[in-house]
């Protein structure tokens, strides 16, 4: 999209998902131990933005409800068009009229993760319908450096995140690209990128292969940088690149999986810089999304 043009807004239909399992109730963890994947999809209660990504005994648990569409093609459109920060409104059932916001994506099953106030989430039921006011895909803010791509993020939310732009450092010749700097909890190497590699970045999250004992204090809603990952199209390795994502779901015992980030910015290190702040970082919050 040309810089400065306003993105179109589209109303989409989503349905609150019911968790699904196959013939066997078990998955197998990295040590070969079977487990029941509680929390993978559907409506998860008791988790909030800011909680540890490793704080519950669950599999890919997200702080809210997963949205799907029963028609496969419409489901693809739902997950591709929806952006973090988009407004969600419940259309029927006990929580009719309640509003929430998109928190992230799950590539499997074309799922969109939506957050709601705790009282509204408690009365939601699988099968309830919601509308998603989708806007932001293709966003090209005029202030964004030319080589940096924004994706999966509502324009208003992008403006509220800890992103700043500055001219290139002193000593660089005139005409050097501007640099967008964004505050993150931490930066991880590309070798820790798991499920999501090779998948379309506009419709999938990227799992980070880290666990509770690996020394990474990741929290739901955190902004996290991943080095040497290009997420403009299908996510993959690209040297001297960086991708910024928002943690939308928690950890998983499944090999190759872990806390999942929805990519929102990607570009070369010469134009996109991550400012690490392990202790003081504040990412996506309920207050920012008006979920309190």
Per-position pLDDT tens, the chain of length 292: 566 677 899 999 999 999 999 899 999 999 999 999 999 999 999 999 999 999 999 999 999 999 999 999 999 999 999 999 999 999 999 999 999 999 999 988 899 999 999 999 999 999 999 999 999 999 889 899 999 999 999 999 999 999 988 754 444 455 566 899 999 999 999 999 999 999 999 999 999 999 998 989 999 999 999 999 999 999 999 999 999 999 999 999 999 999 999 999 999 999 999 999 998 999 999 999 999 7
Two structure tokens written together for 274 = 């991550």
Q: What is the pTM of this model?
A: 0.94
d(CA 231, CA 245) in angstroms, rounded, equals 10
Other Cβ atoms less than 10 A from the Cβ of 230: the count is: 22
pLDDT value, residue 172:
47
R_g of the chain, CA atoms, integer Å: 18
Cβ neighbors of 281 (< 8 A, separation 6 or more) are 183, 184, 185, 222, 223
Cα separation, 3 vs 183, in Å, equals 23
Q: How far is CA 85 from CA 32, 76, 88, 104, 152, in A?
A: 38, 19, 9, 9, 9
- Which domains, and CATH codes, for the chain? 10-134 (2.40.10.170), 149-276 (2.102.30.10)
Q: Which residue has the tokens 């991880």?
A: 188
Q: How far is the CA of 234 from the CAs of 12, 119, 129, 266, 268, in angstroms?
A: 24, 38, 30, 12, 16
């Amino acid at each position: 999209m040309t810089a400065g043009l306003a993105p179109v807004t589209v109303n989409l239909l989503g349905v609150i998902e019911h968790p699904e399992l196959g013939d066997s109730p078990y998955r197998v963890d990295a040590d070969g131990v079977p487990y029941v994947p509680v929390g993978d999809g559907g409506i998860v209660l008791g988790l909030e933005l800011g909680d540890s990504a490793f704080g519950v005994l669950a599999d890919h648990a997200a702080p809210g409800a997963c949205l799907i569409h029963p028609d496969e093609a419409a489901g693809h459109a739902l997950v591709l068009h929806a952006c973090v920060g988009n407004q969600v409104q419940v259309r029927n059932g006990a929580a009719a009229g309640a509003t929430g916001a998109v928190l992230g994506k799950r590539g499997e099953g074309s799922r969109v993760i939506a957050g709601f106030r705790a009282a509204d989430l408690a009365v939601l039921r699988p099968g309830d319908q919601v509308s998603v006011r989708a806007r932001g895909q293709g966003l090209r803010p005029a202030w964004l450096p030319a080589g940096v791509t924004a994706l999966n993020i509502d324009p208003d939310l992008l403006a509220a995140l800890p992103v700043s732009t500055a001219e290139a450092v002193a000593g660089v010749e005139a005409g050097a690209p501007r640099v967008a700097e964004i505050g993150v909890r931490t930066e991880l190497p590309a070798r820790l990128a798991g499920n999501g590699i090779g998948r379309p970045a506009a419709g999938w999250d990227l799992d980070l292969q880290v666990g509770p004992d690996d020394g990474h204090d990741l929290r739901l809603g955190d902004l996290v940088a991943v080095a040497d990952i290009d997420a403009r199209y299908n996510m993959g390795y690209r040297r001297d690149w960086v991708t910024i994502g928002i943690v939308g779901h928690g950890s998983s015992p499944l090999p190759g999986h872990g806390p999942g980030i929805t990519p929102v910015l990607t570009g070369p290190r010469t134009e996109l810089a991550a400012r690490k702040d392990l202790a003081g970082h504040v990412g996506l919050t309920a207050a920012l999304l008006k979920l309190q």
